[in-house]
Structure 1
Amino acid sequence: MKLLFIDTETGGINEKENSLLSVALICWNDKLVVDRLEFFIKEESYNVTEKAMEINQLNLEVVKKAGIKKEEAVKKINDFIIKNFKEEKAVICGHNVNFDIRFIKELYNKVGKNYEEFISYRSLDTASIFRFLTIAGKFKNEQINSLDDAIKYFNISFENRHTAMGDIEKTVEIFNKLIEIV
């Protein structure tokens, strides 16, 4: 089963108000990264919060200069899905992935495209998998809620943390380790 791992870096937590700054995609199949894509989103002006920029450490001038328009971003996502999933709708996976899904859906809405044409309504969330495995007794006396907690638990490098691609690569690594636990 192929999965579409996704992560975003944003200018805040409100998908209706804050800017989507970068997107990273990984096509995963049988514990292997099959393909990857990352890009910045170009806007005339960005709506960001100080806290978000403190976390992601992105330079908005770099984002704007290297970024692509929202229409092109949606086309890149769709082309990536068609290339890697053919006729199948992509099932999205990530850590606390509903956050990223909200921003991606809003991106599609802003350009008048149908999110569900290429992307399944189903998703997998590694944070929920951790919660389930804790309930099932696989993680005793462990509090694994955040991506940082999971990275520490599995002793994964923090290098490139809080970049879209860096975070999604770590999420894929964590997902593979969760498979091994089961």
Structure 2
Amino acid sequence: MTRTDSLQKLVAIDVETSGINPFRHQILSLAFVPVDPSKSSLELYVNEGEPEWQRTAAGYFEESRPAWEACGLSANDACAALSSYIETAFGDQITVVGHNVGFDVAFLRQLAFRAGLDQLPLISHRVIDTHTILYLLHLSGVIPKNALSSEGAFRYFDIRPPASARHTALGDAMATRKLFIRVLELWDRASVNQALR
């Protein structure tokens, strides 16, 4: 399998939630943006009634609330739409990519549980975390510590999502896709430089 083949099964993800605790708060929206730009993206809203809110999350979600209220799906319908999207776009299991992706995965598992599923089909339990890759690059002296957070990484790699798209699932997933590609390019250069030493 070539590297290009492997990249075709990778999807950048982001979720927006009513807070940080998957045992108390709810997933409100999710976006899947394939690393392969020829494949279409997916954005879904999940609305199963007014959730418990954390103040910061409520502020971030204010602009998305009208779409959430108008287009929000039940957990069952959201899982069905997500599975249909993966099967149509990929035909096989995908691996998700995210920044601090454990957060996103925890809420995807919550979504599956609320739909009566043990897990979401066609999504590998293995993940790629850009924060982990950045941390390894930092420990190797390749990037500064202030490039580890999402905001810092976007600044360091000159990724500028529109202000209106920041803290939306689709906007952040698109920015994460760009971040992953830039990090992969930097990793390649760092590996070459190491080999030449």
What is the one-letter code of the residue matched to 1:75?
Answer: A
Match of 2:117 among 108, 113, 117: 113
Percent identical pairs in the alignment equals 29
Question: 1:136 aligned to 2:143?
Answer: no
Structure-2 separation of matches of 1:15 and 1:168 = 19
Alignment of 1:59-98 (within 5 A): 60-87=65-92, 89-98=93-102
User: Which deviates the most, 3-12 or 57-66?
Assistant: 57-66
RMSD (Å) for aligned C-alpha atoms: 1.6
Q: 1:59 to 1:5 in 2, by over 3 A?
A: closer
> How far did 1:61 drift?
4.8
In structure 2, the CA distance between the partners of 1:107 and 1:167, relative to structure 1 (3 Å rule), is same
Which has more radius of gyration?
2
Residue aligning to 1:9 = 16
Structure 2: runs of 5+ lacking an equivalent? 1-5, 189-197
Counterpart of 2:157 in structure 1 is: 154
Aligned to 1:53: 58
What is the TM-score with the length of structure 1 in the denominator? 0.90
Quick check: 1:43–1:64 contact (8 Å CA) kept in 2?
no
Report if aligned partners of 1:81, 1:118 keep a CA contact under 8 Å in 2: yes
- Structure 1 residue 59: Cα displacement: 5.0
What is the total number of aligned residue pairs between the two structures? 178
Structure 1 consecutive aligned stretches of length 4 or more whose deviation exceeds 6 Å: none
Partner of 2:170: 165
Q: 1: distance between equivalents of 2:61 and 2:120?
A: 28
In the alignment, which residue of structure 2 is the partner of 1:28? 35
Segment of structure 1 superposing worse, 47-56 or 9-18 = 47-56
Query: Cα distance, 1:116 vs. partner?
Result: 5.3
Residues in 2 aligned to 1:11 and 1:128: alpha-carbon distance in whole angstroms: 25
Is contact 2:13-2:176 (8 Å) kept? Answer: no
**Normalized against structure 2, the TM-score is what?**
0.84
Q: Which moved more, 1:78-87 or 1:11-20?
A: 78-87
Alignment partners' CA distance in 1, 2:146 and 2:49: 41
Q: Which runs of 5+ in 1 are unaligned?
A: none
